[in-house]
Amino acid sequence: MFKGTLVALVTPLAGGQVDYAAIERLVDWHVEQGTDGLVPVGTTGESPTVDMDEHKRIIETIVGRADGRIPVIAGTGGNATAEAVELTCFARQVGADASLQVCPYYNKPTQEGLYRHFAEIAETCDLPLVLYNIPSRTGISMTPETVARLAELEQVVAIKESTGSMDQTSRILSLCDLTVLSGDDSLTLPLMAIGAKGVVSVVANLVPKDVKTLTDAMLAGNVATAEQTHRKLFPLCRAMFVETNPIPIKTAMKWTGLLESDEKRLPMTDLSPAAAETLRQAMTDYGLL
């Protein structure tokens, strides 16, 4: 479950509301595409702007639609431990396979605070936890030593590493045997080359089969195929971050018909004209437009 191509699923919106029918269509499509797992209601799923009831219903909808056909690692993190516990225990109750736990953002806890936050969730909810370290979003980075300490907890099974640091991943792998997943599409190949097992991918919302070709090849030791696929994907991966995620990926999905609407909630806005042109060129070069 914690390897290969895991998709950081977008949250479709229409008329200011979550489009649950569109969510179900995306689940079916990813099953057909062979995606290894779904990771809803994370950053790409606009977790900061869905309310608690929506957050829970999104998880329940995806787990129900997946119906065991594809694993669901539900985004249930937060910067309040009690809220993260509530969401995580709910995800367990409705049948999610695991949860994604972002480092608490804005309040910038100490390393001890990070440990106690994740330990409380693990001990209370009895659901496998994938830690999520993304200091560019949270303002705090979990040290490899804290990761290794958390890895001693039975429920902590993996970490999504979005620091952009090869040294960080190397240090984690030298301290413990926790599964590492890339949190940056453009770094999937190099991180897997030093021991990561896959990616929680944004671009796989658009081209899941190609991302899976890369991760499957690396897991099988077929580096030549992985390198070729990486070079093909790289410009598209970078274009997905021409402006703040998930603005570009939602735009791309609308352009290709995967979404009827690329609606976001404020403070997320539409792509600027210049960014839209960059994205359109990358997609045209890739053969998507």
Q: Give me the active site residues, please.
A: 132, 160
Q: How many CB atoms lie within 10 A of CB 123?
A: 12
Partners of residue 4 on adjacent β-strands: 198
Q: Please report, for the chain, how many H helices and E strands are present, in that order.
A: 12, 10
CA-CA distance, 26 to 7, in Å (whole number)?
11
Here the tokens at position 135 are 């200091």
- Cβ-in-10-Å burial (0-12, 13-18, 19+) of 88 comes to buried
Are 64 and 222 in contact, with CB atoms under 8 Å apart? no
Contact 71, 97 (CB under 8 A): yes
Closest C-alpha among 3, 2, 11, 6 to residue 245:
11
CA-angle at 200, arms to 287 and 49, nearest 5°: 95
The C-alpha atoms of residue 224 and residue 230 are separated, in whole angstroms, by 10
CA distance linking residue 275 with residue 279, whole number of Å: 6
Angle at 246 between CA 158 and CA 86, to 5 degrees: 50
